[in-house]
Amino acid sequence: MDFNVDASGKSKAVLPDGIYRMAYLLDESNRILLMGILHDQNKKLDAETTAEALFYLGAGIYFRPEPIIREYLTAASTLPGMPAFKEKITQMIKDDIGLIAKGAFEAPLAAYLTEFSKAVDPIDIRARQINVNPTGFQSGIQIFENDALSVKLANTYRRRAHAFFYKTAYKSKGSKDETVLLSNIGAGEKAVVSAEIEPTNAFSSTLGTIVDWAMNNGIEYARKETGPINLPLGDNEDEATYKVRVVGTAFYPELFPMTADEKKTWEKLMVKQFYLDFIAPILTEMFSEIKGNQDTSFGFEAFEYFLSQSPAIWQLLEKGDWKNAATETVKYLLVDKAGQELQKKFITLLVDKYKNLPTPTWIDLDRDYNNASSVEKYTKLIKAVELTVKLLDMAKLTAEIGMSNRIDVFTAKSIRSDVTISPQESSVVPFSNLALKADTKTQLSAGQTFVYKWSTTGKYGVVQSGSQKGASIETSTNTVNFRSESKTADLQEDNFETVTVEVYIKSGTTLTLVGEGKTTINVKKLKLVMKPEKITLMGGQSVRLYLERTDGVNDIVQNDALDYKVEWETSGKYGKFNGTLKSATTMGNALNYEVLDKEVKEGKETFIARVYFKGKSDTEWTLREIVKGELTVANDPKKIVLDVALEVRTWDISTATRCNVGGNFMAVVPVHPKAIKYTVTFYGFKKPFRWDNRTSTWRPGQTPPVEYGYPGAGPNQIVNNQYYFTISRSWSDGPKRDDCLSKLDHYIEVYKPLGGRANIVIEITD
């Protein structure tokens, strides 16, 4: 829509109450001079609104939920660095009114956007994002029981997916033997039923500040459920097994081959996700008349045609380069016939939609679009927006897709028996107890009781209740302990034991079988632990969580025989993985967590990591271990929290005849005049090291428990108002040589492979 501007700089632009729209001021040559977002609180376009609009486009604010966008409209000026950015853009416009038309804003906008990017020191670069967990979340999707014969699917990601159900086996009535229907799902296999899994788009809540939200961090979306989906049992069946194969948008190659139908659906989902969630929002910033009024199919067919004529863009989509795919798509709107056809179809759909509205509209196809002047105008708008698309942090916008798999496989069962054991899978080390609980929905009548018959193979462990202990016991209560008393030397890496419970109803002397439940337990030689442990972070800080065995070895490494996956979950009270996710899964042993809450005085954030493995040719995943961790979040004004990389400080105390030089590996802790206590936890070493996860405390006037002193340090190992907390040292002392000082670089290099960080908490008085 166009509105004239009079000589005084005023315009009678029409904008309904409560609506916001991107607006551009153009001269008689259709050059963009100024821009801004018009809304109830802003009725002007100037250099400052131009700066805010450039950030809005470059940061991709328009991809955020409606409440976040409106928060930005009123709080953009409070963003760190925004005043300076506005001054920069204002001066550049004063120097050259053609700044926007020439695209000369790109460099300062890119520089400003980089201030919002945070880098976390990688502890283990082996971590690569994918997603698998057959009993929990896979790629943000969870399958869960609705009732004994149906399931529901829940999506926690803004990612599009589709589920295919295949009946693969059943057990006949009264039989414990399974009849296999499908041992392998081939390319031509047809699903019994399939269901679209809609993405979660409904805004739920936020965590953090406008700075976090602007960068797509801390935004919570409401879980979206699909179903129920029936998994029927035949009249002669006690149990039926279904493989649920979920295909969805993802960048990594599939772990399992897809059927023809699944492959076709996956390709459709990729196009749909890219268009509806990335391209359509960009187009609505250029053709703002449609903003907020388009439905899910608006312009999709036109885009499908465009993509069929642009194989290069599809290749970018398929390999996960969505940033260049988006940039090229916008560019093609200008230079490619298929792109111009998409633009024409999009505009026609836009006008038709408004033309058919019951209320009058001010849009006119010929006046506003189908003429040379309008074509030239929109060509220049597209060029400006194209430059901002190049600056989008697409890794953030596609984080959920990047952490997902093209196809995930779940197993669902319809069972007439309703007996279950919790946990259904777990791990334990020798000489520790694992509590097991049997549950049934069956109700007792008067005079009836339950009898539980527990059994194991006895190879790696036994069941125990009170004084009863053995490979099989009978109880009147629904809880027992599993305990392994195997010698560590007799165990392999993985040692699986199955515990079975048969539940009976006892009425007088008669026992009637209700059903049977099973659980699988892995008896491990060494447990995994989550590190770092016992550290404290404040709002805005990040940490790399990682898993290791208790002997300091990381064995979650892909090899020729096995694949590993780790599913991570957090309570999300104070932060999220990578700033955006409450659940994620990695192929390696590590994942970033970012604290977003800057208000809570102190609280505990909890984590759970489920580690799975499978053979290269297998489709089933086996739980190896469940690992728990936690950290403290503190924004207490009486606590200063620092998280720093360890350093090497070199020294030279050589004499005229002696070469005495060295390097101390240390945490540098600032002295605070109001300190009453210092606490330092060492973590994040890239190799096993004796100081890993060690915590030390001291008070002013005391010396940190250093392993070595720093030559020349004052009392309490203080140098230049800093404690030198040394945990290792390398040095040489010998006759004077010409190359004496060259050894200092060597000592620095010695400690580089170790990495390491120090979590520092300084408690102060008022």
Q: pLDDT tens across 569-592, in order?
A: 998 889 999 888 888 888 889 999
549-565 as b/e, with b when 16 or more CB fall inside 10 Å? beeeebbbeeeeeebbb
What is the reported pLDDT for 367?
46
If one counts every other C-beta atom within 10 angstroms of the C-beta of residue 88, the result is 18
**Is 345 in contact with 339 (CB distance < 8 Å)?**
no
The DSSP H or E segment spanning 367 is: helix 365-368
Same structural domain for residues 627 and 666? no
Q: d(Cα 578, Cα 228) in Å, to the nearest integer?
A: 32
Together in a domain, 275 and 393: yes
pLDDT tens digits for 611-626? 988 888 887 788 888 8
Owning domain of residue 508: 430-523
Considering the chain, what is the average pLDDT of its residues?
A: 82
Joined together, the tokens standing for residue 343 give 């633009």
Separation between Cα atoms, residue 743 and residue 19, nearest integer Å: 67
Looking at the predicted structure, is the pLDDT value of residue 369 above 50? no
Q: Is the pLDDT of residue 97 over 50?
A: yes
Residue range 272-304, pLDDT digits in tens: 999 888 887 777 776 655 555 455 566 788 788
pLDDT at 119: 41
* Contact present, 392 and 60 (Cβ < 8 Å): yes
Q: Model confidence at 245, in pLDDT bands (50, 70, 90)?
A: very high
Q: How confident is the model at residue 194 (pLDDT cuts 50, 70, 90)?
A: very high
Look up the CATH number of the domain holding residue 569. 2.60.40
Tokens representing 323? 């940033």
* Exposure b/e, 173-186, CB count within 10 A at least 16 = b: eeeeeeeeeeeebe
Q: Is the pLDDT score of 184 beyond 80?
A: yes
Angle of CA points 632, 636, 637, to nearest 5°: 150
Q: Interior CA angle at 257 toward 254 and 263, to 5°?
A: 80
In a domain, 181, yes or no: yes
602 closest CA partner among 653, 647, 636, 558: 636
Using a 10 angstrom Cβ sphere, with 0-12 exposed, 13-18 middle and 19 or more buried, the burial of residue 237 is middle
Q: Does 276 share its domain with 393? A: yes
Higher per-residue pLDDT: 355 or 763: 763
Q: What is the pLDDT of residue 608?
A: 94
Tell me whether residue 127 is in a domain.
no
pLDDT digits (tens, 9 = 90+) for 310-330: 889 999 998 888 888 888 887
Does residue 701 fall inside a structural domain? yes
DSSP letters along 432-474, please?
Answer: -EEEEEEE--PPPPTTEEEEEEEE--SSS-EEEETTEEESEEE
Q: Is the per-residue pLDDT at 416 higher than 80?
A: no
| Number of Cβ within a 10 Å radius of residue 78 | 11
Which of residues 523, 550, 568 is at a domain's end?
523
Residues 465, 577, single domain; the answer is no
pLDDT-based confidence at 218, cuts 50/70/90?
A: low
Q: How many helices (H) and strands (E) does the chain have?
A: 17, 40
In a domain, 131, yes or no: no
DSSP type of residue 395? H
Q: Which long-range contacts (CB under 8 A, 24 or more apart) does 146-150 make?
A: 146/227, 146/228, 147/228, 148/414, 148/415, 148/416, 148/418, 149/230, 149/231, 149/232, 149/233, 149/414, 150/227, 150/228, 150/229, 150/230, 150/231
Cβ pair 504, 512 in contact under 8 A: yes
Report pLDDT for 569: 92
What is residue 82's DSSP assignment? Answer: H
Identity at 737, one-letter amino acid code: R
- pLDDT confidence bin for 223, thresholds 50/70/90: confident
- The whole-number pLDDT of residue 486 equals 86
Distance CA 90, CA 49 (A): 10
Q: What is the pLDDT, as a whole number, of residue 9?
A: 63
What is the pLDDT, as a whole number, of residue 332? 73
CB 348 within 8 A of CB 365: yes
Tokens for 492?
């392999």
| 414 within 8 A of 239, measured Cβ to Cβ | yes
Q: What is the DSSP letter of 581?
A: B
* pLDDT at residue 631 in the model: 93
Model confidence at 646: pLDDT above 50 = yes
Please report whether residue 36 resides in a domain: yes
Burial classification of residue 12, based on how many CB atoms lie within 10 Å of its CB (0-12 exposed, 13-18 middle, 19 or more buried): exposed
CB 504 within 8 A of CB 511: yes
- Pair 267, 386 in one domain: yes
CA angle 34, 36, 42 (to 5 degrees): 125
The reply to whether 586 and 601 lie within a common domain is yes
Distance CA 698, CA 682 (A): 15
561 and 455 both lie in a single domain: no
User: How confident is the model over 114-121, as a mean pLDDT?
Assistant: 56
Mean pLDDT of 110-118: 74
Angstrom distance (rounded) from CA 668 to CA 649: 9
Band (132; pLDDT cuts 50, 70, 90): very low
Has residue 125 been placed in a domain? no
**Same domain for 648 and 632:** no
pLDDT at 669 over 90: yes
Choose among 270, 67, 264: nearest CA to 160: 270
- The two three-digit tokens of residue 487, written as one number: 């010698």
Tally of CB atoms within 10 A around 662: 21
274 neighbors 327 (Cβ within 8 angstroms) = no
- Contact (CB, 8 A) for 134 and 621: yes
**Average pLDDT, integer, range 547-555:** 84
Calpha distance 190→192 (Å, rounded): 7
Residue 338 has pLDDT above 90, yes or no: no
The residue with tokens 């929990």 is 136
Q: Measured in whole angstroms, how far is the alpha carbon of residue 674 from the centre of its chain?
A: 39
Q: What is the pLDDT of residue 463?
A: 96
Least confident of 220-234, 472-486, 674-688: 220-234
Residue 545 has pLDDT above 90, yes or no: yes
| Domain-located, residue 425 | no
pLDDT of residue 360: 45
SS3 702: coil
Contact assessment for residue 690 and residue 552, using Cβ atoms and an 8 Å cutoff: no
Residue 366 has pLDDT above 50, yes or no: no
Are the CB atoms for 167 and 192 separated by under 8 Å? yes
> Is residue 279 a part of any domain in this protein?
yes
> Mean pLDDT over residues 167-187, rounded?
89
Tokens of 552: 């300091």
The residue among 636, 656, 689 that closes a domain is 636
Q: Where among 636, 664, 679 does a domain terminate? A: 636
> Are 289 and 358 within one domain?
yes
Whether 727 and 755 have beta carbons less than 8 Å apart is answered as no
pLDDT at position 613, please?
86
Number of domains in the chain: 6
Asked if residue 271 and residue 221 are part of one domain, the reply reads no
Q: Can the peptide bond before residue 423 be classed as cis, meaning omega within 30 degrees of 0? A: yes
- Exposure of 263 by Cβ count < 10 A (0-12 exposed, 13-18 middle, 19+ buried)? middle
Q: Which DSSP category does 502 fall into?
A: E
Same domain for 229 and 352, yes or no, is: no
pLDDT value of residue 300: 80
Task: For residues 617 and 659, state if they share a domain.
Answer: no
